[in-house]
């Protein structure tokens, strides 16, 4: 064990660079903000990352840098801390739980996992994504014109952030910038919601001794998918609130009217402009008559505050948001898509299975009862936070549910037998007492007039399978079972 401890602390230089590279980048920006000049030796403003350090008040910017540094370095720090402390505790727990003949397997497999090299790729990926997302949130200041200090979006934006509204760049710069800011807000708060969920899942996995490389990969994918999902759905914001674009356009018309020369402000022109304002506003702000504050309030309606809330929700619950979209799409396409496809049994049918447990098992590839019924409890105990006893119970329950299908909940309710192991013991006890266990179960199940008439055949078949099915944990230790039966 001491040898393993030494190996865990021995990390090559390129592994420590995951702490050094982001830290050096952020610290260099802090030094530039405190000691540097906004212009270079030639008197021209910087055109690289050094310009970021002079976009904000120095104290406020340095505060943002500290938050960025903590946000980024928490990812590799938790991975390293878990390897040094919690992995040993997990190995000790598993050594107490698993059968004695498989404890050597536990020691070998846990030794392979107690190394930072196992986490290297996933931690690098997650750290990079967090650095990019946090930079957009805290460091990149948007401006709409070249005269300010920040990211100059007046030069244009890409199709990812603008989509069909890219054509507004030439036609209506105000509406263009308005859409650009809203789409960025959706993207950023989608990332923020996914990051908050990721930190919660990492902390939970840390204390439950379940922090694997898959945790970081899942978090990285969640942040990417959630950000893009929130961005895509932000394009529907004007569809849900159709007055927003008109208000922004009206503000631009009113501003142009105010800046018109006196010669052009003829009664006919004023009448035409007034009609455009009235058509665009429909009772809103009158062009130029109530000043700049009224036009600003028209361009920023209260409904805009819903956008970051919705984006954060999509980031925090991307799976549920995706399911909601899928249900809406299936409802719309109900007459087109066939609904006679095979349906797997959900993991929620098993006793003690929560939504969080389902997500964890899905990450390991077990997304339904049929898959879980063929799992190895020792293998899953090494890969997850669940105890060997809990996993063995779920796998036994999944095996029985796979053979009873939709009748499994009713069978458990009427017989109090929830797993293959419990059914095996019941049938063995009946055989010892010279009683037909199948008949006993059928008598209890057939008391319901709506009960399935084929219980006797099904239970007799299950009794045979209990003795010969090599997928059952009880039968895996005997290589003859499955070929010759139980004798």
Residue ranges of domains in the chain: 2-240, 246-261+269-300, 347-476
The DSSP string of 144-209 is SSTTSSSEEGGG---HHHHGGGGGHHHH-HHHHHHHHHHHHHHHHHHHHHHHHHHHHHHHHHHHTT
| Residue 72 binned pLDDT confidence (cut-offs 50, 70, 90) | very high
Let me know: does 158 contact 235? Beta carbons within 8 Å: no
Lowest-confidence segment of 12-21, 72-81, 157-166, 237-246 by average pLDDT: 237-246
Mean pLDDT score, 394-412? 88
Higher-confidence position of 114 and 452: 114
pLDDT of residue 474: 55
| Residue 136 binned pLDDT confidence (cut-offs 50, 70, 90) | confident
pLDDT of residue 431: 86
Which of 2-16, 50-64, 86-100, 328-342 has the largest mean confidence? 50-64
pLDDT at 66 over 70: yes
| Residue 483 binned pLDDT confidence (cut-offs 50, 70, 90) | very low
pLDDT at 454 over 80: no
pLDDT of residue 106: 78
CA distance linking residue 208 with residue 86, whole number of Å: 9
Three-state DSSP state, 322? helix
Higher-confidence position of 271 and 63: 63
What angle, 0 to 180 degrees and rounded to 10, lies between the N-to-C axes of helices 388-404 and 455-468? 140
Which of 94-98, 109-113, 304-308 has the largest mean confidence? 94-98
Higher-confidence position of 114 and 376: 376
End-to-end CA distance of the chain: 44
Three-state DSSP state, 143? strand
How many degrees, rounded to 5, is the angle at CA 409 between CA 404 and CA 361?
85
**Token pair of 157 as six digits:** 């934006």
Mean pLDDT score, 291-315? 66
- Whole-number average pLDDT of the chain: 76
| Residue 191 binned pLDDT confidence (cut-offs 50, 70, 90) | very high
CA 322 to chain centre: 11
Which has the closest alpha carbon to 21: 13, 32, 33, 10? Answer: 13
Torsion of CA 471, 475, 481, 487, to 10 degrees: -130
pLDDT at 460 over 50: yes
pLDDT of residue 278: 42
Q: Which residue has the tokens 């899905």?
A: 362
pLDDT of residue 334: 62
Residue 67, φ and ψ in degrees, nearest 5: -65, -40
- 47 CB-contact burial (10 Å; exposed 0-12 / middle 13-18 / buried 19+): exposed
Which has the closest alpha carbon to 84: 18, 9, 12? Answer: 9
What residues form DSSP beta bridges with 152? 143
pLDDT at 209 over 80: yes
C-alpha distances (whole Å) from 52 to each of 21, 100, 130, 144, 146 are 18, 60, 18, 16, 15
CA distance linking residue 230 with residue 250, whole number of Å: 27
Let me know: does 211 contact 202? Beta carbons within 8 Å: yes
**Token pair of 173 as six digits:** 């710069």
pLDDT of residue 250: 45
pLDDT of residue 152: 79
pLDDT at 245 over 50: no
Let me know: does 146 contact 154? Beta carbons within 8 Å: yes
Mean pLDDT score, 28-51? 80
CA distance linking residue 385 with residue 362, whole number of Å: 13
| Residue 15 binned pLDDT confidence (cut-offs 50, 70, 90) | confident
- How do strand 151-152 and strand 142-143 relate by DSSP bridges? parallel
Containing 151, the helix (H) or strand (E) segment is strand 151-152
pLDDT at 115 over 70: yes
Which has the closest alpha carbon to 49: 34, 33, 62, 60? Answer: 33
Which of 107-116, 193-202, 280-289, 382-391 has the largest mean confidence? 193-202
CA distance linking residue 109 with residue 107, whole number of Å: 6
Which has the closest alpha carbon to 84: 199, 1, 204, 200? Answer: 1
Mean pLDDT score, 202-221? 89
Let me know: does 20 contact 72? Beta carbons within 8 Å: no
**Token pair of 236 as six digits:** 């529907």
Buried b (16+ CB within 10 A) or exposed e, 345-375: bebebbeebeeebbebbebbebbbbebbbeb
- 96 CB-contact burial (10 Å; exposed 0-12 / middle 13-18 / buried 19+): exposed
If you ran DSSP here, which 8-state letter would residue 365 be given? T
Mean pLDDT score, 90-118? 78
Lowest-confidence segment of 37-46, 67-76, 130-139, 372-381 by average pLDDT: 37-46
How many degrees, rounded to 5, is the angle at CA 201 between CA 197 and CA 207?
150
Q: What is the pLDDT of residues 351-373, one digit of tens each?
A: 888 888 888 888 888 888 988 98
Contacts of 460 (CB under 8 A, 6+ apart): 438
The DSSP string of 401-450 is HHHHGGGHHHHHHHH---SHHHHHHHHHHHHHTT--HHHHHHHHHTTSTT
CA distance linking residue 111 with residue 95, whole number of Å: 13
The percent of residues above 70 in pLDDT, for the chain, comes to 74
């Amino acid at each position: 064990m001491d040898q393993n401890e030494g190996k865990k602390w021995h990390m090559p230089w390129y592994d420590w660079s995951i702490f050094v590279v982001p830290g050096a980048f952020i610290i260099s920006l802090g030094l530039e903000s405190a000691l540097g000049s906004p212009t270079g030796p030639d008197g021209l403003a910087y055109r690289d990352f050094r310009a970021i350090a002079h976009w904000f008040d120095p104290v406020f910017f340095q505060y943002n840098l500290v938050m960025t540094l903590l946000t980024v370095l928490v990812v590799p720090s938790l991975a390293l801390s878990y390897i040094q402390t919690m992995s040993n505790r997990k190995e000790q727990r598993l050594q107490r739980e698993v059968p004695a003949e498989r404890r050597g397997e536990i020691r070998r497999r846990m030794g392979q996992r107690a190394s930072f090299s196992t986490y290297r790729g996933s931690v690098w990926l997650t750290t990079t994504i967090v650095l990019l997302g946090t930079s957009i949130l805290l460091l990149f200041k948007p401006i709409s014109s070249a005269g300010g200090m920040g990211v100059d979006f007046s030069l244009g934006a890409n199709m990812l952030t603008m989509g069909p509204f890219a054509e507004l760049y030439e036609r209506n710069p105000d509406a263009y910038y308005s859409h650009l800011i809203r789409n960025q807000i959706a993207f950023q708060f989608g990332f923020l919601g996914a990051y908050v969920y990721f930190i919660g899942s990492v902390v939970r996995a840390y204390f439950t001794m379940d922090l694997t490389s898959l945790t970081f990969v899942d978090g990285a994918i969640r942040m990417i998918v959630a950000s893009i999902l929130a961005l895509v759905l932000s394009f529907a914001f004007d569809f849900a609130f159709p007055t927003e674009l008109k208000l922004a356009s009206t503000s631009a018309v009113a501003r142009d009217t105010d800046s018109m020369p006196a010669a052009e402000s003829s009664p006919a022109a004023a009448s035409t402009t007034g009609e455009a304002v009235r058509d665009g506003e429909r009772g809103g702000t009158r062009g130029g008559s109530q000043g700049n504050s009224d036009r600003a309030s028209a361009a920023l309606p209260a409904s805009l505050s819903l956008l970051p809330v919705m984006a954060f929700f999509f980031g925090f619950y991307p799976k549920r948001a995706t399911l909601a979209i899928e249900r809406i799409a299936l409802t719309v396409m109900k007459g087109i898509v066939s609904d006679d496809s095979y349906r797997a049994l959900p993991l929620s049918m098993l006793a003690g299975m929560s939504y969080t447990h389902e997500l964890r098992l899905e990450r390991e590839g077990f997304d339904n009862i049929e898959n879980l019924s063929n799992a190895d409890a020792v293998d899953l105990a090494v890969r997850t936070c669940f105890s060997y006893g809990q996993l063995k119970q779920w796998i036994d329950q999944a095996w029985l549910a796979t053979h009873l299908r939709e009748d499994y909940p009713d069978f458990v309710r009427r017989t109090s037998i929830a797993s293959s192991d419990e059914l095996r013991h019941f049938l063995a006890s009946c055989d010892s007492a010279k009683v037909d266990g199948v008949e006993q179960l059928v008598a209890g199940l057939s008391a319901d007039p709506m009960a399935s008439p084929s219980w006797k055949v099904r239970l007799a078949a299950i009794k045979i399978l209990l003795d010969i099915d090599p997928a059952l944990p009880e039968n895996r230790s005997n290589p003859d079972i499955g070929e010759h039966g139980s004798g």
